[in-house]
Structure 1
Amino acid sequence: MFFSSSSPVFILILTGAITLTYFVTRRMFGHDPREPPLAPQSIPIVGHIVGLSQSKFNYYVELSKQTGFPIFTMSLPGQKMYVVTKPDLIQAVQKQHKILAFPPIEAKFASTVCGASPEAQAILNKNVNGDEGNFGLSMESYDAMRAGLKPSSELDDMNRAMIQEIAKSLDTLQPAKGKSRKVGMYNWLRDAITTATTRSVYGPMNPFDDKAIADAFWEFESGLMSILVGFLPSIMARKPIAARTKVAKAFEAYYKAGGLEKASALARYRYQAEINHNVPLEDIARYEVGGSIAILVNTAPAAFWSLLLFHSHPGLLDDIRKEIDACTETSIENGLTVKTLDITTLKENCPLLLSSYQEVLRYCSMGTSVREVMEDTYLDSWLLKKGAMLQMPSRIIHQDATLWGPNVDEFNPRRFLPEEKQNRPRDVCFRAFGGGKTLCPGRHFATNEILAVIAVFIARLDMKPIGGHWKLPTTANTNVAAVVMEPDTDIDVEITARQGFEDVKWAINLNRSDKIFAMVTEDSPEIIS
């Protein structure tokens, strides 16, 4: 049956459709004057989507400069987003961690990304935000992560295992005397760090020792956005989903074979939390694929940018080498010269190395802390509506000239030296690891690993670009889960043994991991104690 445009039934349906569209549109795009001011968009409704697709993580910086507001509202199709741009307001957000909550978002992300079963999703969603107390899989998984990664003898064990794997990779990389080796710098770092990290976490039965599994993981990681979008996944996300399944099956076999018996405390604690809540083994394996994102995705890019910027910044490499050389112990064993580097000693005696590393993170990080507004609430004088999302992009803070000075766009390796403290903002303005209750628990492990790679690389190897000059690659395709920019293209380099060090044997040690490098406010002695 068809209706004519003049019939009462047609008019009734049309009126209902217009009314429904009005209320849906108002719900999606309506703006209360008590809310943070609206950010302008060039195209109604979809302008922010277009801006994000074109400028990626720099779009938030552009909007922040354009509006000048400490917090603003982005109206997106189907979702309202508040974006915080000032450190004081970020601290206020972090104090309201139950009302402005991260766990519900992480649970949704984990279930979608990992392909968890409905049963596992229900277990994870029980008391997901800890509103009823510190119990449930969500809360206990956080506790397991913090326990496994806090400075302790257990973290020392994991760090030492990682460092020895880094040493092996560098031994293999170094060519014979008078020879050179050509490699893609990023690919080499990613392979070396993947091996070192996963062996230290998962032990001698590490699933990633199978290169096919490691390659499948990176295939999965490269397709995260297509999985998250969820549009025709059997077509649009076919390859990353197949790769995810392959890695999950490897973890399932690992658990069944007793791989955890010689694994790190971190891996054991995470597994036990899930077993305690009766998560099916297939889903434990799926969630561990997601957990691998956290331990792997950002370390290689951070090491890549460190080596690239240290080598390309005039005079910096020589100055850092002098610091590292001064910390290197030399001995003779069976007539062979042995050079020993201790990572704890480096953290205590190489201020330029540490300042340069921290500046790399400021310069190259683009992570965003995300919260869900659990109920209508006020942040300072601004009304935040239940169901909206709140973002705190680190890049807005890290690129704010009113905080960091007129050279904010430049890589300044001496910015974080102790004597420069009066020329930079408070520690809370450094957001590479987030902050508050969701501060990255793996920051100490990652720092030890990156320092081990770059310090020993610099101490024993010379590197030059194949093309004759250093060129920073673009980062437009950085993945959705990344916190540090990922290069769109690799840099081909030529590696030789450092002149005068060709016949040296190298050893890397770690005294104690409780000698931390305090980069964030939460690591200050007053707060730790």
Structure 2
Amino acid sequence: MPSILAIVCVALAVVYGTLYTVLHATQSKSEPRLIPTAIPFLDSAVGIARHKVDYLVSLKRRYGLPIHTLRMPFQRIYVINAPQLIQVVQNKSNLATFVPTLLDFGMLFSGLSRRSKDTLTKAYGSHGNGFTKSVHKHLASGSDLHAATRTAVEKLTVGIRYSFVDQEQVGLYETLRHQLCQALTGAIYGAENPYDDPAVEASWLEFVPGISHLLYSPFPWLTAHKALKARARVIKAFQNYFETGGHTQAFAMIPEMFNTNANHGLPSSEAAKLEMATSLAMLSSGAISAFWLMFHIASEPDALRACREELLNLVVKEADTQSGKVKVVDLSNIKTQCSTLTAMWHETLRYHSTVINIKKVQHDTTLASEYFLKKGAIVMIPGSIVHHNTNTWGPSASDFDHKRFFTPAGRRNLSNTTAYRPFGAGTTMCPGRHFSTSVVLSLVAMTLLQFDVQPVEGQWQMPTKTNADMWNAMPKPDQDVPVRISRRVDEESTHTEWKFVWGDASGKKE
């Protein structure tokens, strides 16, 4: 009589053999090369779950393929690494073939009902691009963008003035995160901003770690129980916001989106859920980017000195007072007159960004006349691989170089989305990138001019980021960096009152 162990071994062998046969029988020889697997359909799922973006990077280093196939349960993924293939996917002629999944992503974690999901899908189409049209319309450029940025700068000015004074020990990330949260949401949601309530902001922070469970866990109600309760509290706050007319006092984008969705049949209770996606777009990566930028500037003396010197070029007015001087700084010129700060911003995004552009293959197609891609498959373009490509960025691609974008080659790469894509590319490029960039740079500029930021431990130690969420475009540090914040004492800053503006009220400057 066979032993239980023998029976188990035979059963496992049969299962393995079946999975192996199914894997190769359903993989066309014309498809991109299938990455070798020890356990069919499971290796890739486990690898991504454990190592996230680093798993994709390790496969590129190991096999060096321009494109390859990963097979997961009920899903095939084509990972594109080569710039020339990325360009083909981005070509306008392929817009109907490679469709973004932004709308699907937003609906997955927002808690929308099935009926609301069907309503939105029908209203905005399978491309999902209509979902962000209002954002592009108001935040791409022009007077609306100017007004939103000016409001955010005003809120930062007040927030920093009362929060940054003589802090003996605070977390650098948490300090910057809170200021950006208040400035960004205040500028967009207006006077009745739900995030002005500390309980709502705290609930949002409790919700965010649960997003990965909502996206990947088979039992999110069990693995993300606390996050779901936190989400419910934020949604309730937004439902009250809409029902009491708070959105009528907000940035023009918010009432427009609300009215458009209402016309499609979305009730206010469901519109409140959709604000989870809007909040994520504002709050997910901006603060992380500000943290890494501030870390690199503060830990590099030459860069810190250069940034401060350039920021003095933004002073547009000076006046003597009884207690010293008042200096007015116009931050709307920061991108054109502060080359070191701007270059470090780009290098921070290049070096740290883990953005993954995801598209769905709408029909069977052949990519670049060579690689057969099946309908329903997912195309992934990992930004980390693009940003650390030595053929593009040279042998120092894996190093942080704050002068990288001073070179002609570096500046050329800024406009090439097959080389530099921290905000994505094409029709799915982050619509709020100009707004977020301006506010982050303003926050850092205000801090550098008014305060010294020093590590409590005496030396700057870059934190790890191995636990960063794969869905986030920027990797959150695994631990915060404790710092001391003190008002600057030097010839330029002593007895100086700094005032910050964003252009003039007419919106002429951008």
Normalising by structure 1, we get a TM-score of: 0.87
In the TM superposition, residue 420 of structure 1 has moved relative to its aligned partner by 4.9
Letter in 1 for 2:495: D
What stretches of structure 1 of length at least 5 have no aligned partner?
Answer: 1-17, 132-137, 517-529
Alignment match of 2:360 (pick from 372, 375, 384):
372
Letter in 2 for 1:305: W
Alpha carbons 1:224, 1:480 under 8 Å: kept:
no
2:3 — aligned with what? none
Distance 2:415 2:273 in 1: 40
Distance 2:304 2:476 in 1: 22
Distance 1:180 1:437, change over 3 A: closer
2:112 — aligned with what? 116
- The answer on 1:461 being equivalent to 2:451 is yes
Q: Which moved further from structure 2: 351-360 or 336-345? A: 336-345
2:372 — aligned with what? 383
Letter in 2 for 1:485: P
- The answer on 1:227 being equivalent to 2:214 is yes
Distance 1:270 1:441 in 2: 14
Alpha carbons 1:365, 1:485 under 8 Å: kept:
yes
Alpha carbons 1:64, 1:85 under 8 Å: kept:
yes
Q: Which moved further from structure 2: 317-326 or 398-407? A: 317-326
Distance 1:124 1:514 in 2: 36
Distance 1:219 1:347 in 2: 34
Q: Deviations over 1:480-526 (max 9, x none)?
A: 4310110111111011111132432221111277866xxxxxxxxxx
Alpha carbons 1:61, 1:399 under 8 Å: kept:
no
Normalising by structure 2, we get a TM-score of: 0.90
Q: 1:464-475 maps to which residues of 2 (within 5 A)?
A: 464-475=454-465
1:407 — aligned with what? 396
What stretches of structure 2 of length at least 5 have no aligned partner?
Answer: 1-13
Q: 1:315-464 maps to which residues of 2 (within 5 A)?
A: 315-332=302-319, 334-335=321-322, 336-380=324-368, 381-417=370-406, 419-421=408-410, 427-428=416-417, 429-464=419-454
Q: Which moved further from structure 2: 497-506 or 329-338? A: 329-338
In the TM superposition, residue 255 of structure 1 has moved relative to its aligned partner by 0.6
Alignment match of 2:42 (pick from 42, 46, 58):
46
| Secondary structure of residue in 2 paired with 1:223 | helix
In the TM superposition, residue 36 of structure 1 has moved relative to its aligned partner by 0.8
Distance 1:236 1:29, change over 3 A: farther
2:74 — aligned with what? 78
Letter in 1 for 2:394: G
Distance 2:306 2:266 in 1: 52
Q: 1:121-160 maps to which residues of 2 (within 5 A)?
A: 121-126=117-122, 128-129=124-125, 138-160=128-150
Distance 2:25 2:311 in 1: 56
In the TM superposition, residue 378 of structure 1 has moved relative to its aligned partner by 1.2
Distance 1:23 1:181, change over 3 A: closer
Distance 1:230 1:115 in 2: 15
| Secondary structure of residue in 2 paired with 1:181 | strand
Alignment match of 1:508 (pick from 462, 485, 500):
500
Alpha carbons 1:414, 1:420 under 8 Å: kept:
no
Distance 1:515 1:393, change over 3 A: farther
Distance 1:128 1:37, change over 3 A: farther
Q: How many residues align?
A: 488
Distance 1:146 1:117 in 2: 26
Q: 1:251-290 maps to which residues of 2 (within 5 A)?
A: 251-290=238-277
Q: Which moved further from structure 2: 483-492 or 316-325? A: 316-325
Q: Which moved further from structure 2: 181-190 or 430-439? A: 181-190
In the TM superposition, residue 230 of structure 1 has moved relative to its aligned partner by 4.1
Distance 1:118 1:448, change over 3 A: same
| Secondary structure of residue in 1 paired with 2:395 | coil
Q: Which moved further from structure 2: 499-508 or 257-266? A: 499-508
| Secondary structure of residue in 2 paired with 1:478 | coil
In the TM superposition, residue 269 of structure 1 has moved relative to its aligned partner by 2.1
Alpha carbons 2:123, 2:264 under 8 Å: kept:
no
Distance 1:300 1:362, change over 3 A: same
Q: Which moved further from structure 2: 324-333 or 222-231? A: 324-333
Cα-Cα RMSD: 2.4
| Secondary structure of residue in 2 paired with 1:98 | coil
Alpha carbons 1:28, 1:78 under 8 Å: kept:
no
Alpha carbons 1:399, 1:408 under 8 Å: kept:
yes
Letter in 2 for 1:507: K
In the TM superposition, residue 308 of structure 1 has moved relative to its aligned partner by 0.3
Distance 1:149 1:106, change over 3 A: same
Alpha carbons 1:69, 1:85 under 8 Å: kept:
yes
In the TM superposition, residue 425 of structure 1 has moved relative to its aligned partner by 8.1
2:200 — aligned with what? 213
Distance 2:137 2:434 in 1: 13
In the TM superposition, residue 312 of structure 1 has moved relative to its aligned partner by 1.3
In the TM superposition, residue 129 of structure 1 has moved relative to its aligned partner by 3.8
1:98 — aligned with what? 96
2:4 — aligned with what? none
1:15 — aligned with what? none
